Homo-oligomer: A and B are copies of this chain.
Amino acid sequence: MILALAGGVGGAKLADGLMQLLGDKLTVLVNTGDDFEHMGLTICPDLDTVTYTLAGIAEASTGWGVAGESWAFLDQAMRLGGPSWFRLGDRDVALHVLRTERLRRGERLTEITADVCRRLGITARLLPMTDAAVRTIVHTPHGPLPFQEYFVKERCAPVVTGFAFAGSENAAPTPELEAALADRDLAAIVLCPSNPYVSIAPILAVPALKQRLKQRGAPIVAVSPIIGGAAVKGPAAKMMRELGIEPSALAVAEHYRGFVDGFLLDEADAALLPRLAPLGLAARAVPSLMKTSADRRRLAEAVLNFAAELAAGR
């Protein structure tokens, strides 16, 4: 049993590679800090990206949304004075409408997610990090911004000065996460190549989760979302610079120092390996860019082999 922590596109791709190898032996714990309410609908962008990716229906050109999506809903909503900054495709809206109704009826996000996964033929288990409402707030010199306003509406332009995960203090682990944490067969914990600040950090902010993951004793392996000093996708590198950190795989490893046992960086960053040694973690350089489905599987294999190696060396 492997537990993978994932945010958006990069995390979803590695989760897909892991599912190709592990099927139902994979649990993916997904960030819900970027969830928000929009047009009265509860939208879970990271959860949806992972769902669509594992279902094989994600739009390849963007990584998010449903492949071949149409936009009649959004066109009409704009004509009726609705907001246009968040691109809601016609198929995507169906998930938001059905989920919002089920949440209002009192179902838990975890239950709804399990049902959606079953209907879309996803063999891995997807768990939202919590059923509670946690909302990532991006602090900027001009005040705090809800995550989607920062990320989509403002296109990551504002300078970030810090982050908060509102509601996190009350976000109890779900029964399903408790079961995953108690699973005797848990062989490794994987931090997917997702943004450390706004994808992985909100998950680890679930009370006591970080300590409990560490205490499990299974190897914790992180994959760098930074290659050659740049984020493969998203604002991670820009955020690092704004926080006064030189963006690099080394900086990611330093960020995870004391928590992860193993760190995978891209072969393009192999020169950084000697500088990672003093951090007290094992590190390997591998091809980590995931352009094809086979790339995802190969990176997943590298992760699992590395974790097995770390477990054997204990």
Contact = CB atoms under 8 A, between A and B. Distances in A.
Interface string A45-81: 0000000000000000000001001101111110111
Which 5 residue pairs are nearest across A and B when measured between Cβ atoms?
Answer: A40-B101, A72-B90, A76-B94, A76-B91, A77-B94
Interface of A: 39-41, 66, 69-70, 72-77, 79-82, 89-95, 97-98, 100-101, 104, 115-116, 119-120
Contacts of A66: 76
Contact of A93 (B40, B73, B81, B100): B73
A104 to B, nearest CB: 6
Given A70-B72, A73-B73, A80 B94 contact: yes
A116 B39 contact: no
Contacts of A119: 79-81
A150 to B, nearest CB: 22
B101 A39 contact: yes
A73 B91 contact: yes
B70 A82 contact: no
Given A101-B39, A120-B79, A94 B74 contact: yes
Contacts of A100: 40
A91 B120 contact: no
Nearest to A75: B91
Nearest to A81: B119
